[in-house]
């Protein structure tokens, strides 16, 4: 079993199908303009920080301040819940390694906004459940059924799902 990445947690909260496709390397992001914009934002913002800290191959933190606060950079707040859980997962993994992080911050450089994220005991339990659920989804032979959502319209997988 592959290690659970931050991306997987994020996709779990966005769409189970996307998670399944992504895990089988059926990626579509390279066709998406929105994804290219996101990448550009990541590359061009916070250039003074030490960026993209890779921890054990499975999590890639956008940047860390003094090992106290971790940051995740996003383009918009449309899927904020998923972003929050992605960050909580980072906090959780670091905590397991004995690194106590104060909080996480979601940065929206285009919106000039930020959001603080904390990890509660309740969150830890929920994350453990989520991890189990992700493993189940990834073990499936077929992608999970589609459920039409508002966000489908802007998804890089829209055509693959709807054709």
Q: Interface residues with another protein (CB under 8 A)?
A: 24-27, 30-31, 141-143, 158-160, 162-163
**How many Å apart are CA 104 and CA 15, to the nearest integer?**
23
Name the minimum Å distance from CB 51 to another protein: 21
Name the minimum Å distance from CB 160 to another protein: 5
**How many Å apart are CA 14 and CA 117, to the nearest integer?**
18
> How would you classify the pairing of strands 69-73 and 103-108?
parallel
Name the minimum Å distance from CB 28 to another protein: 9
Transcribe the chain into DSSP letters: -PPPPHHHHHHHHH-HHHHHHHHTT---GGG-HHHHHHHHHHHHS-TTS-EEEEETTTEEEEEEETTTEEEEE-S-STTHHHHHHHHHHHHHHHHHTT----EEEEEETTTTEEEEE---HHHHHHHHHHHHHHHHHHH-SSPPPP---GGGGG-TTHHHHH-
Of 47 and 145, the one with the shorter C-beta distance to another protein is 145
Name the minimum Å distance from CB 120 to another protein: 37
Name the minimum Å distance from CB 85 to another protein: 26
């Amino acid at each position: 079993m592959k290690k659970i990445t931050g991306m997987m947690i994020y996709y779990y909260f966005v769409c189970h199908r996307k998670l399944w496709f992504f895990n089988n390397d059926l990626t579509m992001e390279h066709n998406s303009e929105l994804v290219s914009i996101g990448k550009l934002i990541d590359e061009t913002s916070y250039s003074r920080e030490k960026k993209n800290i890779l921890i054990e191959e499975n999590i890639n933190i956008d940047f860390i301040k003094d090992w106290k606060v971790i940051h995740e950079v996003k383009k918009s707040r449309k899927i904020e819940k998923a972003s929050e859980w992605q960050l909580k997962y980072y906090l959780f993994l670091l905590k397991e390694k004995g690194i106590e992080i104060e909080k996480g911050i979601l940065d929206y450089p285009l919106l000039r906004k930020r959001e603080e994220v904390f990890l509660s005991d309740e969150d830890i339990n929920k994350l453990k459940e989520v991890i189990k659920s992700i493993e189940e989804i990834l073990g499936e032979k077929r992608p999970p059924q589609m459920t039409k959502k508002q966000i489908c319209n802007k998804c890089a997988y829209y055509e693959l799902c709807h054709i």
